[in-house]
Chain A
Amino acid sequence: MSARVGTAKLVGQAVKRREDPRLLRGGGRYVADIKLPGLLHAAVLRSQVAFARIAKLDVERARSDRRARLVLTAAELPEGTAPLPCIDVMPDTKPAHQPVLARDIVRYVGEPIAIVVAESRHDAEDLLERIAVEYDELEPVMDPERAMEPDAPLLHEGLGSNVINTLSQSVGDVAQAFAQAAHVYSERIRVQRYHAMPMETRGVVADWDEGAGRLILFSSTQFPHILKSLLSGVLGLPEHRLRVVAPDVGGGFGVKCEFYPEEVVVPLASMRLKRPVKWIEDRYEHFVSASHAREQIHDMEVAVDADGIIVGLRDQITTNNGAYLHTLAITPTSIASAILPGPYRIANYSAVGTSVLTNKVPLAVYRGAGHPQAVFAMERMMDLIAADLGIDPAELRQRNFIQPDELPFDRGTEIVLAGKVVYDSGDYPECLRRALDLIGYSDARREQARAREEGRYIGIGIGCYVEETAIGPYESATVRIEPSGHLLVYTGSSPHGQGHVTAFSQICADEFGVGLDDVTVIHGDTDLVRHGVGTFASRSGPIGGSAVRQAAAIVREKCLKLASHLLEVSTEDLELADGQVSVIGAPGRLLSLAELAAKAAPPNPLPEGLTHDLEATEHFEVPGIAFAYATHVAVVEVDVETGMVTPLRYGVVHDSGTLINPLIVDGQVQGGVVQGLGGTLLEELVYDDSGQPLNASFLDYLIPAIGNVPRIEVAHMETPTPLNPTGMKGAGEGGAVGSPAALVNAVEDALRGLGVKIRSTPVSPEALLSLINEARAAR
């Protein structure tokens, strides 16, 4: 048992991570690293056209090759293999589900058609070339507005339309607000299609144990329990015959909280062959089959009074959902529609959100999931309004903010799966003030003026937002004290870089007054952790952490109760600290956690009310959404000759309630900001009119490299949420939520006076030069 130095709490401290030494030595075990005896390798045949009937699919030359162990097409799938489900369906959602393997029709370049299994990946890929596919090509539709026209090609004949969901939000009396407004602004704001693009692609190893009648599935996933449940449904295999394990996962960002066809066919192959089968996605496949993100249009109208107070807001949201409903398909539209008004009072608001099918890769969630697009749209409007009315952009926001004493504030909107939007706690005005201080706003404005005199263009941009985090329905934790005195924590959270092992060790260690090394955190394995939800939507710190805290608290009580019985002293006279229970005022009379655990083990007799083992399981249920919030401020320089944008400085004041580990939270914010920067300045998934992806590699799809980014300064406010015992809100996504807004506002600010209005991303050099030249021509 390691000694605790003093009684300093670990929660709140920037302790370095326990995960790191193993990873630093190359000891990580990602799905591609898993080797099992008899392992076979799979390769997936994917559609090379965007929309076609499969006229011929001839696998015989592949199947009869001596290297082939198995070739599976849709025709060979077991009777009753269900299509892939969507878990965020709303009442109106149409069933545009993706079949596990395409049968008669393919709907996007990259769609899986067949799987080949061989002794090596090389052989499997060679065998793909022996499969003959003939396509009767159909006219594809790539643009969502075109897809909604009555004569547009239909993605799914039986559905009669390419619109797969319509939702709406409505608060107050928007018509009246607009009728009485002093000014009305309307803009079309567009966000492009881009991608989570974790450094580790997807992958699965499926191992069917014929003797036990059980399947083990290793998958690079963010939600092993949900995956198990969904797989059970699609395969028709009861859950107790499935074990899902998330090994070390090299980033997820939402693209891995999805249930994919490969997670079905590779297990089926293993079950057929009675040998383990591995499939590791290559980067090209990741570009054309892992969920895409963001692509959304906002047709906004804002009604404003003479002082710049927003009295009404209307939005028509159109999301390009790609060819099918994926697992979390409606969420980006739902979230965008629900939080668009942001931290502003806006009493009258209505939105309609339409999810539309096109012949692109299916779209789902990516860090922020609807927030980045909506915040971008709203914050762009704020700056456009500020410029038009001659009000400083920070001042305009201050005039419109919900004040701290108005919280909890019922937004009047709802988010699918998560519930009602009621802002729980926070101080938006103070957050903006501190962010301006952090960046040195007045100095930056002076610098901007000086630079202009020198013919240089520097701009300052603000992005304020409120963000749904800590969603339910619950998270699980089991805490147990071993006879050695060591603490075991089993969590349903499934980390992929967020440091949960460290954070949950801090929480648990604090409950017992022990050191971090006295705790082991176990996650990712559905055989070891019975129930769980997983890591996405910024929920694991607050919800997973609360479950750990509550389970640990119950185990604490058990320790005290057992000690009371053994020491024959009332629990009021006992204290648990520094890894032991002692009698207050009688220092020699104590029991260590190890002694207590040993006494709690069977077959020791126990007092009434105590069961064997010092163990407790809690499923922490979420009473409501916790809303994190932040202000981002960007300072950029724009080269008007090349269109290049150079971010100079970046600051974030971020409030995610009580912090377990500020170092980890800083890392999350910084990482998110840079992903947002990528999506704002660099990244776009480009398709041509025939539906071919044009830049499906790192050579042409540019994610930020170290030279593209400024240092990102993060400061924290900690306004606890009343919604969980730890007071925590989620912190994983916010960086990506505020950055497109802050950066684009900065670019436009840099070009103030040139007549440049930016309404879409990415702000590539070409796009910006085009706007600059158009503005010049118009003057």
Chain B
Amino acid sequence: MTLADFLREELDLTGTHLGCEQGVCGACTVHVDGRTARSCILLAVHVDGAEVTTIEGIAGDGPLTAVQQGLWEKHGMQCGFCTSGFVMTITELLALHPEPTEEEILDALGGNLCRCTGYTKIVEAVHEAARLASGARSEGRAA
């Protein structure tokens, strides 16, 4: 059983979506031990003992994260089907590069396909998320 099927069918975590089941589109992206992975081409047994985070775990019951807020502010989503995957990938990107360049963004997101937005607003959303996250960090430091 793939990790994606395990999450969706056994754990009822349906926020992770299946766009191709071939590892191309990135809609199924989750975090395994803090790094992005394509759950549609991972077998569930492969993550035995690992920590897996899905879209549901990004904000949990709390407020939307900076990444989610950025996508919301900038209209970086339309039908929402690819969105979970983008949130996971952008979250990893900003953890590694808090102030990513345009090139770093295009490089990191090259494996997440979107058919609705045309990507312009997703790129804007990443910059906004970076801005929000850095603002929150400053506030945190000031507190």
Q: Write the residues of chain A forming the contact surface with B, with a CB cutoff of 8 angstroms.
A: 16-17, 19-21, 23-30, 32-33, 35, 197-201, 248-251, 253, 282-283, 496-499, 663-664, 666-667, 670-675, 697-699, 703-707, 709, 711-712, 735
Check A26/B56 contact, CB under 8 A, given A17-B72, A664-B75, A705-B113: yes
Q: Choose among B25, B68, B77, B120 the residue that contacts A670 (Cβ–Cβ < 8 A).
A: B120
Question: 7 A-B pairs, CB-CB below 8 angstroms?
Answer: A24-B68, A26-B16, A26-B58, A199-B25, A199-B79, A672-B118, A706-B110
The interface centre, meaning the residue of B20, B58, B80, B83 with most chain A CB atoms within 10 A of its CB, is: B80
Q: How far is the CA of A199 from the CA of B64 in the complex (A)?
A: 24
Apart from A17-B72, A699-B22, what are 18 other A-B pairs with CB-CB below 8 Å? A24-B71, A24-B77, A25-B68, A26-B54, A32-B18, A199-B19, A199-B25, A200-B81, A248-B79, A283-B19, A499-B78, A667-B116, A671-B117, A674-B117, A697-B24, A698-B22, A706-B114, A712-B120
Interface flag for B38 (CB, 8 Å): no
Residue of A nearest to B112 (CB): A706
Find out whether the CB atom of B118 lies under 8 angstroms from the CB atom of A663. Answer: no
Q: Which residues of A contact B59 (CB under 8 A)?
A: 24-25
Q: How far is the CA of A663 from the CA of B74 in the complex (A)?
A: 8
Q: Choose among B18, B75, B84 the residue that contacts A17 (Cβ–Cβ < 8 A).
A: B75
The interface centre, meaning the residue of B19, B75, B122 with most chain A CB atoms within 10 A of its CB, is: B75
Q: Which residues of B contact A200 (CB under 8 A)?
A: 17, 19, 79, 81
Q: Which residues of A contact B78 (CB under 8 A)?
A: 251, 497-499, 667, 671
The contact string, 1 if C-beta is below 8 Å from chain A, for chain B 1-41, is 00000001000111111111110110100000000000000
Q: Which residues of B contact A26 (CB under 8 A)?
A: 13-16, 54-56, 58, 84
Interface flag for B109 (CB, 8 Å): yes
Interface flag for B121 (CB, 8 Å): yes
For residues 84 through 112 of chain B, which have their beta carbon under 8 Å from a beta carbon of chain A? 84, 87, 105-107, 109-112
The contact string, 1 if C-beta is below 8 Å from chain A, for chain B 117-134, is 111111100000000000
Residue of A nearest to B55 (CB): A26
The interface centre, meaning the residue of A26, A198, A253, A499 with most chain B CB atoms within 10 A of its CB, is: A26
Q: Which residues of A contact B116 (CB under 8 A)?
A: 198-199, 251, 497, 667, 671
Q: Which residues of A contact B112 (CB under 8 A)?
A: 705-706
Q: How far is the CA of A664 from the CA of B116 in the complex (A)?
A: 11
Find out whether the CB atom of A698 lies under 8 angstroms from the CB atom of B25. Answer: yes
Q: How far is the CA of A575 from the CA of B72 in the complex (A)?
A: 35
Find out whether the CB atom of A667 lies under 8 angstroms from the CB atom of B81. Answer: no
Q: Which residues of A contact B84 (CB under 8 A)?
A: 26
Residue of A nearest to B80 (CB): A23
Find out whether the CB atom of A698 lies under 8 angstroms from the CB atom of B55. Answer: no
Q: Which residues of B contact A23 (CB under 8 A)?
A: 77, 80, 83
Find out whether the CB atom of A675 lies under 8 angstroms from the CB atom of B115. Answer: yes
Find out whether the CB atom of B81 lies under 8 angstroms from the CB atom of A698. Answer: no
Find out whether the CB atom of B72 lies under 8 angstroms from the CB atom of A28. Answer: no
Q: Which residues of B contact A201 (CB under 8 A)?
A: 19
Q: Write the residues of chain B forming the contact surface with A, with a CB cutoff of 8 angstroms.
A: 8, 12-22, 24-25, 27, 54-56, 58-59, 64, 68, 71-73, 75, 77-84, 87, 105-107, 109-123
Q: Which residues of A contact B15 (CB under 8 A)?
A: 25-28
Residue of A nearest to B85 (CB): A199
Q: Choose among B72, B81, B114 the residue that contacts A24 (Cβ–Cβ < 8 A).
A: B72
B141 to chain A, nearest CB (A): 27
Check A709/B118 contact, CB under 8 A, given A24-B64, A27-B15, A283-B21: yes
A112 to chain B, nearest CB (A): 20
The interface centre, meaning the residue of B16, B109, B120 with most chain A CB atoms within 10 A of its CB, is: B120
Q: How far is the CA of A755 from the CA of B109 in the complex (A)?
A: 38
Check A711/B56 contact, CB under 8 A, given A16-B72, A663-B75: no
Find out whether the CB atom of B115 lies under 8 angstroms from the CB atom of A703. Answer: yes
Q: Which residues of B contact A496 (CB under 8 A)?
A: 79
Check A697/B115 contact, CB under 8 A, given A25-B56, A200-B79, A670-B121: no
Find out whether the CB atom of B80 lies under 8 angstroms from the CB atom of A19. Answer: yes
B51 to chain A, nearest CB (A): 17
Q: How far is the CA of A249 from the CA of B19 in the complex (A)?
A: 13
Q: Choose among A17, A19, A703 the residue that contacts B113 (Cβ–Cβ < 8 A).
A: A703
Q: How far is the CA of A446 from the CA of B51 in the complex (A)?
A: 56
Check A282/B21 contact, CB under 8 A, given A16-B73, A199-B115, A707-B110: yes
B112 to chain A, nearest CB (A): 7
Q: Which residues of B contact A30 (CB under 8 A)?
A: 14, 17, 81
Find out whether the CB atom of A253 lies under 8 angstroms from the CB atom of B109. Answer: no
Q: How far is the CA of A703 from the CA of B119 in the complex (A)?
A: 12
Q: How far is the CA of A25 from the CA of B15 in the complex (A)?
A: 7
Residue of B nearest to A201 (CB): B19
A251 to chain B, nearest CB (A): 5
Q: Which residues of A contact B72 (CB under 8 A)?
A: 16-17, 20-21, 24
The interface centre, meaning the residue of B16, B118, B119, B121 with most chain A CB atoms within 10 A of its CB, is: B118
The 6 closest A-B pairs by CB, nearest first: A26-B15, A250-B81, A497-B79, A23-B80, A497-B78, A674-B118
A10 to chain B, nearest CB (A): 16
Check A667/B18 contact, CB under 8 A, given A16-B73, A21-B64: no
Q: Which residues of B contact A249 (CB under 8 A)?
A: 79
B64 to chain A, nearest CB (A): 6
Q: How far is the CA of A200 from the CA of B59 in the complex (A)?
A: 24
The interface centre, meaning the residue of A248, A667, A704 with most chain B CB atoms within 10 A of its CB, is: A667
Residue of A nearest to B79 (CB): A497
Q: How far is the CA of A250 from the CA of B79 in the complex (A)?
A: 5
A197 to chain B, nearest CB (A): 6
Find out whether the CB atom of A198 lies under 8 angstroms from the CB atom of B55. Answer: no
Q: Which residues of B contact A667 (CB under 8 A)?
A: 75, 78, 116-118, 121
A497 to chain B, nearest CB (A): 3
Check A250/B12 contact, CB under 8 A, given A23-B83, A199-B82, A699-B24: no
A296 to chain B, nearest CB (A): 22
Find out whether the CB atom of A497 lies under 8 angstroms from the CB atom of B55. Answer: no
Find out whether the CB atom of A250 lies under 8 angstroms from the CB atom of B17. Answer: yes
Q: Which residues of B contact A674 (CB under 8 A)?
A: 117-119
B117 to chain A, nearest CB (A): 5
Check A28/B120 contact, CB under 8 A, given A35-B12, A706-B106: no
Residue of A nearest to B67 (CB): A24
Find out whether the CB atom of A673 lies under 8 angstroms from the CB atom of B81. Answer: no
Find out whether the CB atom of B75 lies under 8 angstroms from the CB atom of A251. Answer: no
B7 to chain A, nearest CB (A): 10
A494 to chain B, nearest CB (A): 12
Q: Which residues of A contact B19 (CB under 8 A)?
A: 199-201, 283
Residue of B nearest to A673 (CB): B118
Q: How far is the CA of A651 from the CA of B82 in the complex (A)?
A: 25
Q: How far is the CA of A697 from the CA of B19 in the complex (A)?
A: 11
Find out whether the CB atom of B106 lies under 8 angstroms from the CB atom of A707. Answer: yes
Find out whether the CB atom of A670 lies under 8 angstroms from the CB atom of B118. Answer: yes
Q: How far is the CA of A699 from the CA of B41 in the complex (A)?
A: 14
Q: How far is the CA of A498 from the CA of B79 in the complex (A)?
A: 7
Residue of B nearest to A197 (CB): B115
The interface centre, meaning the residue of B15, B22, B81, B123 with most chain A CB atoms within 10 A of its CB, is: B81
B119 to chain A, nearest CB (A): 5
Q: Which residues of B contact A35 (CB under 8 A)?
A: 12
Q: Which residues of A contact B8 (CB under 8 A)?
A: 32-33
Q: Which residues of B contact A253 (CB under 8 A)?
A: 115
Residue of B nearest to A663 (CB): B75
Q: How far is the CA of A319 from the CA of B97 in the complex (A)?
A: 49
Find out whether the CB atom of B83 lies under 8 angstroms from the CB atom of A198. Answer: no
